[in-house]
Structure 1
Amino acid sequence: MNKVVNPQGLRTFDGVFTPTVLTILGVVMYLRLGWVVGNAGFVDTLAIIFMAHAITICTALSMASMVSNIEIGAGGAYAIISRSLGFEIGGAIGIPLYFSQAFSVAFYIIGFVELWLSFFPTHSPTLVALATWVVLAGVSMKSAQLAFRVQYFVLAAIAASLVSFFAGPSLSVVEPVWRGAYTQAGFWETFAIFFPAVTGILAGVSMSGELRTPRRSIIIGTLTAIATGLVVYVAMAYWFAHQAPESALLTNTSIILELSAWKPVVVAGILGATLSSALSTLVGAPRTLAALAVNRLVPFPRFLGKRAADNEPRNAVLVSSLLSLAVLMAGNLDQLAQLLTMFFLTTYGVINLVVLIEQGSGIISFRPRLQVSILVPLAGFVGCILTMLLIDKLFTLTTIVVVLFIYSILARRENKIDAPWGDVRGGFFTAITEWAAQKTLALQYHPRVWKPAVLAPAETPEDLRRISRFVGNLLSPSGRLYFLSFHQSKLRDAQLAAQYEELLKPLRDKKLFMRKMVVHSREDVFEAHLYTALQILLNSFLPPNSILFTISGEAEKQQRMARIHQMIRPLNIGLLYLYIHPKLAFGQEKTVHLWLRHRSPNMNLAVLTALQLTRNWDAALTIFRVIDDPAEVSATTGELELFVEQARLPVSTRVRVLTGDYCEHLGRIHGDVTILGMPPQFDQMIDLAMHSPGTVLFVADSGLEDATV
């Protein structure tokens, strides 16, 4: 369906085809194509033309496929990218693209001035440049409709100049220039010189917000303009090779004038082509800027995104015109011109990448009316990258750095807005996750890949508040948290969700993997619901490997915890029972005491947990062991020191071997947290917790851990 979004908007011919074909049939066609034929010969020139057009055709087909799948809106290439990869990536490409467009106006004007001075050498270059800028800025400020009416005259002048060229005389050619000697440049350098001729395919796309039927117009107008340009370039290359000798083609960049029947017509075509490229770019660039402003990706968004009563983005036009004037006054811009070409190629490459991701991820929402083979965007993407490297490796690297820098700024900005249409990133990462899950499940588990993945059930927000900091220190920097809560009141859904989200925010800020599950329940049977939820989680991909409970001083809660313990103990999951001392809490978070019994079945998880807390607290770790025979102190100390080395614990780890009563030592020695292996009986654990002089964490292995690997 070709939806009419702007009944008064531009049609395909005036809104897309004309600006695109005028940008393609520009200065390179008039002043560089003859040199390319003289240097490379007609056969190799054909290869150059078709290779360059292959990239733009692939990009145009990819763009057409995307446009036939989405409502593009204003912003052209930026809109296509942002609607697929999100505002941040769209802005990272769109902002450099906008500057490339705005700066290009200055380059076109400079080119126009140079051509003008070759015919009128007595004129002042500064005055000609300023006069040209004033005319272009005035036309673009008035309206896009007026700008495109002016382009009709330019199109007519170019058509007349082509007729004059093909009707012109031959310069005594003995043998057509079929093969070139590459006396002035190699093949790839010649390709790089020609390639800017075909980089005008975004001229019409930039007008997407002004078109009557954007979907239809962009597809038909862009592809038709590219096809027209391809035919013209091939025909002209043949005629250059047939009508002029190699020496003339190499030495005279204005050879087209010598080959034309009516020189004034060709002069008008050359000047008109240069001028129209500047005008179409000056009309398109503000549309990109206005779209960026609407999505708050640039400073002063309200000012730059504002449109006049006739829907013209005049503030954006004014800023773009002044920016182009500043660049125009800067002087020599050859190196910057090369960098700007890179940004155009980056945009083309990302458009191809978008379609490649959409097709490759298999998302059902990607069902464009115009279907293309996945090889099309792949070829376009690879072609853009290779061309960038071909032109200049340093500028390619600079472009990538600039795009990544802008993305990093946009990703951290505070005034983000959510895209109402969604984007492909979720599907892309889902596809990667599915692939990774299949590969992971096919591999045999090994304790070496263990990392803390804790399920933390809580009945109230207060329960979560008490442990949230401890959980963060237990999991950082790369652990996983599974938060689970049950409640009965539907009226509290939003309120509870907001409270939990606020408490979990510090953990999200640490970039921890987190899954929050707040479940509405008709019955208040916490342990039954927990047991069911735990079994479901343990059978999912990336399950938790530990579960964390807090030990309460209330007898009723202790009894319920005992029932839960009996239910979940047989499951393949580590157990963590935390008793927080009511007065000391976690103290200064500077000392971790790890008590290890000889051949304890719960040693591995205890050691790994102690290591996590030691690292994240920057704490001192001390390992304790209580034995009966004082004569064994030295041997036991050596055994523990060897274990410290095997487990690669911090070199500052202390070892203390004590003799006497185990519970007596526990009652007088405590750190900011004391980690113990879980006793055989639940009641023993409660008794130790209630008589502890500090905070205690009881640990039971799941069998998935090994502290020595």
Structure 2
Amino acid sequence: MDKNHRFNVKKVLETSALPGVSKMKASTDGNIPDLDQGNVTYPVVSSDPKIRRNSLAQLTREALPRVDHYRNCIEATKRPSLGELYGEPSGVKDGDIESRRPEETGGNHGIKLGWIQGVLIPCLLNIWGVMLFLRLSWVVAQSGIIQSLIIIGISTVVCVLTTLSLSAICTNGEVKGGGVYYIISRSLGPEFGASIGIVFAFANTVAASMNTIGFCDSLNELLHSKGLQIVDGDVNDVRIVGTIAILVMCITCAVGMEWESKAQNVLTIIIVAAIIDFIVGAIIGPRSVLQLAQGFVGFNLTVMQQNLGPGYRFSENVNQDFFSVFSIFFPSVTGIQAGANISGDLKDPSKAIPKGTMLALLISMASYVVFVLFAGATAARDASGIVGDVGSGIEFHCFPDRNCEWGLMNSYSMMQVVSIWGPLIYAGCFAATLSTALTNLLSVPRLIQALGIDRIYPGLIFFSKGYGRSGEPYRGYVLTFLISTAFLLIAQLNVIAPLISNFYLASYALINFCTFHAALVKPLGWRPEFKYYNVWLSLFGFILCVAIMFLISWVTSLITFFVVFALYLLVVYRKPDVNWGSSTQAQTYKSALTSVHKLVNVHDHVKNYEPQILVLSGKPQDRPPLVDLAHLITKNSALMVCGQVSEERLSHRARMNLTLKSYGWLHANKIKAFYALVDDIKFEVGARALLQASGLGKLKPNILMMGYKNDWTSCTAEDLEEYFTILQ
């Protein structure tokens, strides 16, 4: 088909070149008519130049490739092998494919989620957690308004850069079970992916403990306000209630979470209502003298000026500073990976993930900024809670022999004091903490199951076994419960938060590094649909995360990197039999190709001469003495090629088997050599072809080595002449 005819769709339609044409919609107003053919509509090109210019993207009859076009295709559920592409018969008959049911082929025919239900709401529920209701007022008291805004700004920069990198990776292919582990392992390889997957699973498990502790602290505050307690109203109550809560949540996750998507909207409404309750209460101001005595004075310029600067003190057995407070706040902005974890269930991941995650970050960070401004402008740092200690209205006297139990610095319940209706704040805190803990407890067993299915670490295979039709990892839930309960026994929120910050920052650093590495190497498979990322911004995000880790705690950071490195070496030592087309493989190829190109420009010199031998050994394992002799010359420091000439035509599978066996024998004998095979050709012509075509650039054989022809007395004259011709 010539070029003009190819793009003249109207001519094709008028001549009825397309079979099955039922009707054609006529156009008399200059618009482009459509041709209905079953479920397919072909646009017809108008003669109007303006319309033609605006519809260039639709001139071709081929549809642009999208993963959604092939996701439900039964034939696409099994990727063809190279042998099938070379024309060999497929291992699956056509009848078997046609008779196979969609649910048996693993096709995903479930309801696809939009960016609001699939990304925005899950991210908001993960970001709005325990810190919003229990620790943000303490952050304002320690760091002051200005430095609190700086902390929020740095956290936002880290999350935005990571979101851009995450969006690029997620839209480069479908993300299956495992979330961040699947992303990194398929991008950087199993070594990086498995090690950071363990760290991320550990971070999620500890995050579940942290949010459960927040729930227990809020419950203790509620019981204390009613004059009630379970044991001591302190850490022991947290341990008892928290253990029961984690057990119930693990059982709930294991039984089924079908109601989770329905409950998400309700939980979001409760949290938003609690935030509005606080904002309206701050605007109205104190409604009793007791609230004034507790440190809530309403909007006051003097109080705001006092709270502008930092007021770091000794708290939670630590001399607090900027980065210690940052480490406690940072877990409140984690959760941006909630949409990426289910990207396979989204209608349009390339638009849903960046749009939903960015909007969730904007909404959550705006709420944090409003809270910092309102809390810093309406509440004092210290207050005794005694009505008689109220001076001129905003002067609070905490005598040396009396501890101030109220104010932003001393009470974690200031949000309830400022709000109109305190119980709604408790409801919001319960909703935020339990929803985040449930999400963490639900994701960890799935991540462990993904690691076990990939058989990266043998110790996790036992916990990856699935039960029931949905393959629930019950053993993984037991392991998650034990680890989460162990950290719950610490029962101190400010002790656990820095650990989580360190692990999450390590995960975010690896995500940014994945995008940087893939965008820098640019392998053929790197074609993300999301285009608004930058290779250098991803590198900056990686450096920023690592720098913050060491500024928070260099000891914890070194331990984290040591653990990641140990897990990395374990995978390298085990050498799992997986091939996911990682960017590290592309980097190896690119580095080798660059080195070969540089070698071309290197002039030969006698000092740099290397014997580069072509050994006509056939299969190396058939003539080990000849191969050993060549190996003694090259000593693994020069080029050595073991060549085989087969006069028979070999199939692709036979060639691959010969290649794998030959390289296996060479590796087993610690001989660094290449294997080259030519088939369907005479021995003389094949030897000449190997000698002339083997190698690349300067890496070409300059010595030919052949074995002695032992049967020269009994062979035919033609074979003997062929042997001597090769030697000449």
TM-score relative to the length of structure 1:
0.71
Task: Give the deviation of 1:503 after TM superposition.
Answer: 4.4
Which residue of structure 2 lines up, in the alignment, with residue 519 of structure 1? 678
How far apart, CA to CA, are the structure 1 residues paired with 2:548 and 2:605? 45
How far apart, CA to CA, are the structure 1 residues paired with 2:577 and 2:160? 35
Bigger Cα Rg: 1
Task: Write the mapping of 1:109-124 to structure 2, written as runs, cut at 5 A.
Answer: 109-121=212-224, 122-124=229-231
**CA RMSD across the alignment:** 3.4
Which residue of structure 2 lines up, in the alignment, with residue 540 of structure 1? 697
The question of whether the paired residues in 1 share the 8 Å contact of 2:188 and 2:582 is answered with yes
Which residue of structure 2 lines up, in the alignment, with residue 403 of structure 1? 564
The answer as to 2:665 corresponding to 1:530 is no
How far apart, CA to CA, are the structure 1 residues paired with 2:492 and 2:633? 58
The answer as to 2:587 corresponding to 1:428 is yes
Task: Give the deviation of 1:309 after TM superposition.
Answer: 2.3
Which residue of structure 2 lines up, in the alignment, with residue 189 of structure 1? 324
Where does structure 1 lack aligned partners over 5 or more consecutive residues?
Answer: 567-709
Letter in 1 for 2:360: A
Task: Write the mapping of 1:487-566 to structure 2, written as runs, cut at 5 A.
Answer: 487-491=646-650, 494-495=653-654, 498-499=657-658, 501-509=660-668, 513-525=672-684, 528-537=685-694, 540-544=697-701, 547-553=704-710, 555=712, 563-566=725-728
Which residue of structure 1 lines up, in the alignment, with residue 521 of structure 2? 361
How far apart, CA to CA, are the structure 2 residues paired with 1:452 and 1:106? 63
Task: Give the deviation of 1:489 after TM superposition.
Answer: 0.5
How far apart, CA to CA, are the structure 1 residues paired with 2:567 and 2:546? 20
Secondary structure at the residue paired with 1:482? strand
How far apart, CA to CA, are the structure 2 residues paired with 1:500 and 1:207? 40
Q: 2:202 aligns with which of 88, 96, 99?
A: 99
Structure 1 residues 258 and 454, CA, compared in 2 at 3 Å: closer, same or farther? farther
Letter in 1 for 2:697: S
Query: Which deviates more, 378-387 or 184-193?
Result: 184-193
Which residue of structure 2 lines up, in the alignment, with residue 231 of structure 1? 366
Task: Give the deviation of 1:163 after TM superposition.
Answer: 0.8
Which residue of structure 2 lines up, in the alignment, with residue 143 of structure 1? 256
The question of whether the paired residues in 2 share the 8 Å contact of 1:475 and 1:481 is answered with yes
Q: 1:84 aligns with which of 166, 178, 187?
A: 187
How far apart, CA to CA, are the structure 1 residues paired with 2:491 and 2:146? 38
How far apart, CA to CA, are the structure 2 residues paired with 1:132 and 1:457? 71
Structure 1 residues 340 and 255, CA, compared in 2 at 3 Å: closer, same or farther? closer
How far apart, CA to CA, are the structure 2 residues paired with 1:447 and 1:252? 80
Where does structure 2 lack aligned partners over 5 or more consecutive residues?
Answer: 1-65, 72-107, 232-236, 286-295, 314-319, 383-406, 714-718
Secondary structure at the residue paired with 2:301? coil
Give a deviation string over 1:597-639, Cα, whole Å, max 9, x none.
Answer: xxxxxxxxxxxxxxxxxxxxxxxxxxxxxxxxxxxxxxxxxxx
Which residue of structure 2 lines up, in the alignment, with residue 380 of structure 1? 541
Q: 1:48 aligns with which of 141, 148, 151?
A: 151
Structure 1 residues 531 and 333, CA, compared in 2 at 3 Å: closer, same or farther? farther
Letter in 2 for 1:227: L
Secondary structure at the residue paired with 1:171? coil
Structure 1 residues 187 and 480, CA, compared in 2 at 3 Å: closer, same or farther? farther
The answer as to 2:280 corresponding to 1:167 is yes
Select the structure that is richer in strand. 1
Letter in 1 for 2:328: I
Q: 1:129 aligns with which of 231, 242, 246?
A: 242
Give a deviation string over 1:452-472, Cα, whole Å, max 9, x none.
Answer: 654322245565333344555
Structure 1 residues 451 and 407, CA, compared in 2 at 3 Å: closer, same or farther? farther
Give a deviation string over 1:278-337, Cα, whole Å, max 9, x none.
Answer: 111111222222222222234464862525324654454444334433543576797776
The question of whether the paired residues in 1 share the 8 Å contact of 2:323 and 2:551 is answered with yes
How far apart, CA to CA, are the structure 2 residues paired with 1:465 and 1:503? 11
How far apart, CA to CA, are the structure 1 residues paired with 2:145 and 2:496? 31
The answer as to 2:641 corresponding to 1:482 is yes
Task: Give the deviation of 1:488 after TM superposition.
Answer: 1.2
The question of whether the paired residues in 2 share the 8 Å contact of 1:141 and 1:317 is answered with yes
The answer as to 2:405 corresponding to 1:279 is no
Secondary structure at the residue paired with 1:203? coil
Query: Which deviates more, 87-96 or 553-562?
Result: 553-562
Q: 2:488 aligns with which of 328, 335, 356?
A: 328
Secondary structure at the residue paired with 1:455? strand
Query: Which deviates more, 220-229 or 9-18?
Result: 9-18
Q: Which has the higher contact order (CA 8 A, sep 6+)?
A: 2
Structure 1 residues 105 and 471, CA, compared in 2 at 3 Å: closer, same or farther? farther
The question of whether the paired residues in 2 share the 8 Å contact of 1:74 and 1:288 is answered with yes
The question of whether the paired residues in 2 share the 8 Å contact of 1:40 and 1:182 is answered with yes
Letter in 2 for 1:350: L
Letter in 1 for 2:240: L
How far apart, CA to CA, are the structure 2 residues paired with 1:445 and 1:402? 47
Secondary structure at the residue paired with 1:202? coil
The answer as to 2:110 corresponding to 1:7 is yes
Letter in 1 for 2:565: L
Secondary structure at the residue paired with 1:145? coil
Letter in 2 for 1:294: I
Task: Give the deviation of 1:377 after TM superposition.
Answer: 1.4
Letter in 2 for 1:376: L
Task: Give the deviation of 1:16 after TM superposition.
Answer: 3.3
Structure 1 residues 334 and 32, CA, compared in 2 at 3 Å: closer, same or farther? closer
Task: Give the deviation of 1:64 after TM superposition.
Answer: 1.0
Structure 1 residues 449 and 63, CA, compared in 2 at 3 Å: closer, same or farther? farther
Structure 1 residues 266 and 24, CA, compared in 2 at 3 Å: closer, same or farther? same
Task: Give the deviation of 1:204 after TM superposition.
Answer: 3.8
The answer as to 2:138 corresponding to 1:35 is yes
Task: Give the deviation of 1:84 after TM superposition.
Answer: 1.6
The question of whether the paired residues in 2 share the 8 Å contact of 1:42 and 1:237 is answered with yes
Which residue of structure 1 lines up, in the alignment, with residue 420 of structure 2? 261
Query: Which deviates more, 77-86 or 237-246?
Result: 237-246
Q: Determine what percentage of the aligned residue pairs are the same residue.
A: 25
TM-score relative to the length of structure 2:
0.69
How far apart, CA to CA, are the structure 1 residues paired with 2:342 and 2:527? 24
How far apart, CA to CA, are the structure 2 residues paired with 1:212 and 1:102? 29
How far apart, CA to CA, are the structure 2 residues paired with 1:335 and 1:481? 59
Letter in 2 for 1:502: K
Secondary structure at the residue paired with 2:428? helix
